[in-house]
Each structure stands twice: as C-alpha cells, then as structure tokens.
Amino acid sequence: MNIRQLFLQHVAQTSPAPIGLEMVKAAGIYIYDAAGKQYIDGISGFSVANIGHSHPAVIEAVKKQAEQYMHLIVYGEFIEQPQVAYAKLLTDHLPEQLNCVYFTNSGAEATEGAMKLAKRVTNRSKIIAFKNSYHGSTQGALSIMGDEYWRNAFRPLLPDIYHADYGTAASLELIDENTACIVMEAVQAEAGIIAPSAEWMQKLRKKCSEKGVLLVIDEIQSGFGRTGSLWAFQQFGIEPDILLLGKALGGGMPLGAFVASTAMMNTLTHEPVLGHITTFGGHPVSCAAGKAAFEVLIGENWIQEVKEKEKLLLLQLKHPAIQQIRSFGLWMAIEFNSFETNHTVIQHCIKNGLISDWFLFAPNCMRVALPLCTTVAEINTICAIILKSIEEALL
C-alpha cells in the first residue's frame, strides 16, 4: 500500500473527502508536499501558526526542554519550570483578575474545565451559549455548540443549556440568578467571522456582573494578535471572568488553557479534591514551545501591523463573484453564492499553491487567516492567487 492508502485505512477519518496532501516540511508561511510543491498556509493551521511555522526560537525551546525532561507526573503535582514560566508570562499580559492558568491539552478541554469551574464557583447549572458558536467537539463543548446539525447525532447531551442569538438584546434577557455562566466567542469564528458591537458586549458584561454570572470568553481562535490586539476582548472594552485559550497558545505544540482568578481556581482543590485533573495538560515541551512563540509575538511589530494588512487584503480582494467579506484583523470570511462555488474556488486555490478552507456554520465562505508574519509582498501574491482561482472556478 502507498502512504495515502495507509492514511485512509489506519488514520480515523472525519470527512469523506480529506484534502489528502502529504506534507513533509513547513517554514514561515509556507508548507511543502512530498513532491516538493510549495503552498502558502492561508489559514495558519487553523490559527495555530500565528508566528508562522517552525520558528527557530520555538524549535530551540523544544529541543532544549526535551533534553531536560518531558512527561514526569500528572499535571499539578511537581513544580515544572516551563509551566510556571509560561503561566507567569501569560498573566503578565492579562487583566489583574486573570492571574491563574490551568493548562490543558486542547481548546476543547479548556472549555470543559471552564464549564466545571463555573458550576463549582456559582453552585448553579444553567449555561447560556450562542447559536452558530463553536467551542470544541467533546461532550460538554458539543452541548454548547450552537448548531443542531452537529449535536443531534450524539444526544443526549448536557441538560440546562440554552442557546441565544449572538449580539441581540433578547439574549440578555436569558441571564438570570440561575445562570452559572455565559460562554461566548469574542468574535464568532465558524459562523464566518461575526463580530458583535462593543455596546452589546458591554451590556452583556454589566448584566453578568449584576446577576453574579461568570462571563467565559473563548479566544481559542481570536487570541494572540489575530484581531489586531493581543486579545480580541480588549477591543470591546470588557474583561472576562474566565478566558479560554488554545491553538496559537502552544506555538505549534498541543496546548490549551482556561484562565481565571486564583480564588476561583482554588475551588477545584476541595469537595472534591482533584476537582479537575489531567495527565498531559501543560506538557513541559508544549509550554516551552508556547512561551517561546509568545515571546516572539510580543517582541515583533506584527500585531501593530494587522489592521493595515487587513486593509490591504480588503482593497485587493474585489470580484463580482464575491458577495461580501467579513473581517476582523487578519481573519476573514469571503462569501460566495453557494458552498459549491466556494468549494471549487478553494480547490483551485490549493492547486495554485494557497491552502484555504470553509467554515462549519458558513460553508459558502472561504477562510483566510494568514500568519501574522505575512509580508505585504506575500499578501499581494495571496490576493492574486485568490482572484485567479475565482476566475478559474467560474469557467
């Protein structure tokens, strides 16, 4: 059997038609297949590679930590320098009350931990999430996912979950004294880059505070500079009670986290003890890699350049077949008239050397989420490829 046949037979498949390219190398914004063809990663590995692929500082950090030690014991028992150092660095760049980090293996596990923490802190069970939201695919995260198509096959799911319309006044009326938390994306990702108004976000924050409800903000995709600020919530003039992180958090290694106050986190230490545990969460190599990537990000000027690069993309991406573009920093949804049109455009983009994809809840929209290190010249090339691919798709 060739490697593609082995891939299809022995690696669990999640769709009937995977892209199926055999990749052998990645560096900067580029990835390379087994035939030596170069592709631009137009989606940053789904917002993981915000500083690009295989940054030398990250590789060095991984090598150094692997030589010292890798897994030692279940997370939270030994003092492991990479975990402590990264937690300190993260909290130095967060609001004062977000001073305690619980590292997980992934963003979905961060969602699970935050839901448990909210129930434990408030002694309430009601959770409000939003339609067309995505927070992971594990059972708890799936329960708050905002689309019945994805939930239905796996019922029964968690009870006492309510789904509201994102950004609406009516959604605020659901918040009451029985609510443990609101779980929301700062900007809805899989809905096709839907941003709320700052006014609504501030009203939501105020209502949560009045009712003793914890506001859980998911920045798993939007965090680490993608929107033009380190954290997207900064652009709305609010602060969360619990913050969810993942994807770019690990600098290319698997890592997630939920972040809250030390006082809230301490509720997981008793009644029961070990209220939330993980074996591999906060793996020292992942923490070393993530810290190195974060230091690169805050040491460069890339976040400050995001809005100008966004404008450059919007200026060039004009075509009659594009119905609209929704963007929030280097993160955009290019909308076409149907999934079929979008899928064909994406296939031509891949053929022409640009990796893209569609959105779970907006399949007629093409995803663009460039590494923040992408240069102006590279953006010009990317726009040319997209426009060429649209023309080819319409033939």
Query: What does the mean pLDDT of the chain come to?
Result: 97
3-class DSSP state of 221: coil
Domain end among 281, 299, 317: 299
Ranking 12-21, 120-129, 270-279 by mean pLDDT, the lowest is 12-21
89-108: average pLDDT = 98
Same domain for 140 and 203, yes or no, is yes
Query: 78-91, pLDDT tens digit by residue?
Result: 999 999 999 999 99
- For residue 15, the model assigns a pLDDT of 87
Same domain for 110 and 185, yes or no, is yes
Domain end among 299, 315, 330: 299
Same domain for 155 and 242, yes or no, is yes
Same domain for 340 and 389, yes or no, is yes
pLDDT band of residue 18 (cuts 50, 70, 90) is confident
In which order are the strands placed within the sheet that holds 357-359?
324-327, 332-335, 362-368, 357-359
Domain range spanning residue 370?
3-54+301-394
Domain end among 278, 299, 320: 299
Same domain for 353 and 369, yes or no, is yes
- Give backbone dihedrals phi and psi of 23, rounded to 5 degrees, phi first: -95, 140
**Helical (H) or strand (E) element with 381:** helix 376-394
Same domain for 282 and 168, yes or no, is yes
Same domain for 380 and 285, yes or no, is no
Residues 6+ apart with CB under 8 A from 54: 26, 27, 28, 252
Q: Where are the alpha helices (DSSP H) in 3-100?
A: 3-10, 44-47, 56-68, 81-92
pLDDT band of residue 136 (cuts 50, 70, 90) is very high
CA distance 367 to 359: 7
- For residue 395, the model assigns a pLDDT of 86
Query: 193-220, pLDDT tens digit by residue?
Result: 999 999 999 999 999 999 999 999 999 9
How many structural domains is the chain composed of?
2
Enumerate long-range contacts of 37-40, CB under 8 Å, 24 or more apart: 37/353, 38/353, 39/350, 39/353, 39/354, 39/355, 40/353, 40/354, 40/355, 40/378, 40/381, 40/382, 40/385
Whichever domain contains 349, its CATH number is: 3.90.1150.10
Whichever domain contains 105, its CATH number is: 3.40.640.10
Question: How many other β-carbons are positioned within 10 Å of the β-carbon of residue 351?
Answer: 12
- For residue 301, the model assigns a pLDDT of 97
**Helical (H) or strand (E) element with 173:** none
Same domain for 252 and 172, yes or no, is yes
**Cis amide leading into 272 (omega within 30):** yes
Same domain for 267 and 129, yes or no, is yes
pLDDT band of residue 6 (cuts 50, 70, 90) is confident
CA distance 394 to 145: 34
Same domain for 263 and 333, yes or no, is no
Query: What is the pTM (predicted TM-score) of this model?
Result: 0.97
Same domain for 43 and 142, yes or no, is no
Same domain for 279 and 150, yes or no, is yes
Q: How far apart are the first and last CA of the chain?
A: 36
